[in-house]
Chains A and B, each alone.
Chain A
Amino acid sequence: MASLVSKEFREAMGWLHTWLGVALGAILFAIFWTGSLTVFDKEIDHWMKPELRLAQQENVSLDRVVLPKLASFEPALGSDVWISPPRDRIPAIRMLYHDKNDNKHEIMLDPKTGEKLDLTDSHAGTDFFFRFHFMLHMPGLFGYLLVGIAALGMMVLVISGVFIHRKFFQNFFTFRPKKNLLRSTLDFHNLTAIIGLPFYFLLPLSGLFIFATVFFPWPVEVNYDGNVKSFKADLAGYQQFSVEPSGQTNLYIKTLDQLIIDAEQIWKTKEGQHSSKADWVGILIMAMRIRMSLLNGTSLIKMWRLALIKSVLMHKQVKKLGSSPLVQFMQH
C-alpha cells in the first residue's frame, strides 16, 4: 500500500517521535508505573498501615459516630469538610478538612467508635503513588504542569508514531525476531504499540481532562467571572440536584443520616430520567467517570449516587449552617 502522507511529513514526524521520546520517556515511565500501582492504592494502604484492617460495618450511623466528633473538631476546622462513609476498600470513615490556615488534613475514624485511628506514619499508596502519578510531589502547580506536558507529549508521540511508517499495515504487523537486535526490538516496539494504540492515546487524554482547569484556567475564568470554583460547582450539578432545606436555620446540622435518606430519595426520583445534558457531552463525561471509577474500584452507579449524595449534603449544609466555619467553602 502506498504511503498516505508525504515524505517530508513522515520525516518531520520521525524527528518529533525520536526526540520527544528521548525527552519524555523516563518521566512517562514513572507516571505510568505509579499509575498502575495506584489501581491498588487502597490495598497498599492496608498492607503498610495495619490499623486500617477493620471489619466491614454495615449501615453505620453518621449521626452516632461522626457528628459528636465533628463538634469536637470544630475549633480546628477552617472550611471544606468531606466525610466518606466506610466502603468495601476503605472500611474506616474518611474525613478531609481544611484548618484555619487552609492546610488540608485527612483523618480516619473507627466506624464503630468514631475514635481517630492512630495510623502508621507512612505515605503508602494513596499518599505516595497516587499523588506522584499526577503531581510528582513537586511544590505548587509545577508537578501538575510537568505531568500535563508529558501527557500531551505522549499523545503527540502516539500520533507521530503512526505517521512515521510508509506502509502502515505491513509495518505494524511485522515481527522479525531472527533479524539483528535493532530490527527485532523496533518490530517489537511497533507491534506492542499498535496493539495498545487506543489505550495509549486515551490514557493521557483522560488524565488531561481531569485537570483541564489547571492547564487552561483563563478560558474558564473569562466565562465564569474569574471564578473557576463556580464552574466546577456548575459542572457537578449542585444546582441541578439541589433540595430546599426544611426551613431550619440552625447553626449546626442536626442529622447527617436524614440528609443521606433525602439524597437517596432524590436519586430514586431522578433515576432513569433523561439528563438535560447533551448526549455527546454526556458520553465524554461518562468516559472520565469510568476512568475515575476504575481507579477507585467503585461501580458507575455508585459513583453517581455518591456524587448526588455529596451534592445534596453540601447544599443542605450551606443552607442550614449559615456562616459556620464548618462549611464556608460551600458558599463559594
Chain B
Amino acid sequence: MSSKTESTLIKSSRLAVAVIGGYLFTNGFIGAFGAGLHYFGMIKSDAMLLALISGFLIYLVVIIWVISTRCFIFTSCLILGSSIIMIYSAQQLV
C-alpha cells in the first residue's frame, strides 16, 4: 500500500475488509478447523479450544495482510470467498 497516494475511501475499505472480512474468515476458520480436528480424532473440546486460540492469530494475520497487500481487490475476494467455503465446510463437517 502506498500510504501517501491512496485515497481515504480505499483506506477505509481496507480497514472494513480487514475487520469485518477478517471476522467472517476467522469464524469460518475456527468452525472448520475445530470440526476438522475432531473429525480426524482429536477430543472435541480440545479441538474447539485449539481452533479458538489459533483463530485470534489468524485474525491478526488477516488484518495485517489486508492492510498491506498490493492487490487489495484480489485479496478481499480471496478472504470473502474462502470465508464462505469454510463456513459451509464447518456446517457440513459436524
Contact partners of A218 in chain B: CB under 8 A? 27, 31
Contact partners of A208 in chain B: CB under 8 A? 56
Of A8, A213, A284, the residue contacting B50 (CB under 8 A) is: A284
- Interface class of chain B by DSSP: helix
A278 x B52 contact (CB < 8 A): no
Interface stretch (choices A33-41, A43-51, A59-67, A154-162): A154-162
- Interface class of chain A by DSSP: helix
What count of chain A residues pass the 8 Å CB interface test?
A: 34
Distance between Cα atoms of A231 and B38 in the complex (Å)? 13
Contact partners of B59 in chain A: CB under 8 A? 152
B15 CB to closest chain A CB, in angstroms?
A: 9
B60 x A159 contact (CB < 8 A): yes
Contact partners of B35 in chain A: CB under 8 A? 222-223
Given A219-B34, A231-B48, A235-B49, does the pair A8, B68 have CB atoms closer than 8 Å? yes
B82 CB to closest chain A CB, in angstroms?
A: 15
B2 x A216 contact (CB < 8 A): no
* A2 CB-CB contact with B under 8 Å: no
Task: Bits for B72-94, please: 1 = Cβ < 8 Å to A, else 0.
Answer: 00000000000000000011001
B7 CB to closest chain A CB, in angstroms?
A: 13
* B1 CB-CB contact with A under 8 Å: yes
What count of chain B residues pass the 8 Å CB interface test?
A: 36
Contact partners of A205 in chain B: CB under 8 A? 56-57
Distance between Cα atoms of A208 and B90 in the complex (Å)? 22
The residue in chain A whose Cβ has the minimal distance to the Cβ of B46 is A281
A11 CB to closest chain B CB, in angstroms?
A: 5
Of B27, B30, B44, the residue contacting A234 (CB under 8 A) is: B44
A300 CB to closest chain B CB, in angstroms?
A: 18
Given A208-B56, A276-B43, does the pair A216, B27 have CB atoms closer than 8 Å? yes
List 15 contacting pairs A-B, 8 Å CB cutoff, sorted by A. A8-B1, A9-B68, A11-B3, A15-B67, A212-B56, A219-B52, A219-B55, A223-B38, A223-B48, A223-B90, A234-B45, A235-B49, A278-B46, A278-B50, A284-B50
4 closest cross-chain pairs (CB), A and B: A219-B31, A219-B30, A234-B45, A12-B68
**A residues within 8 Å of B by Cβ?**
8-9, 11-16, 152, 155-156, 159-160, 205, 208-209, 212-213, 216, 218-220, 222-224, 231, 234-235, 276-278, 281, 284-285
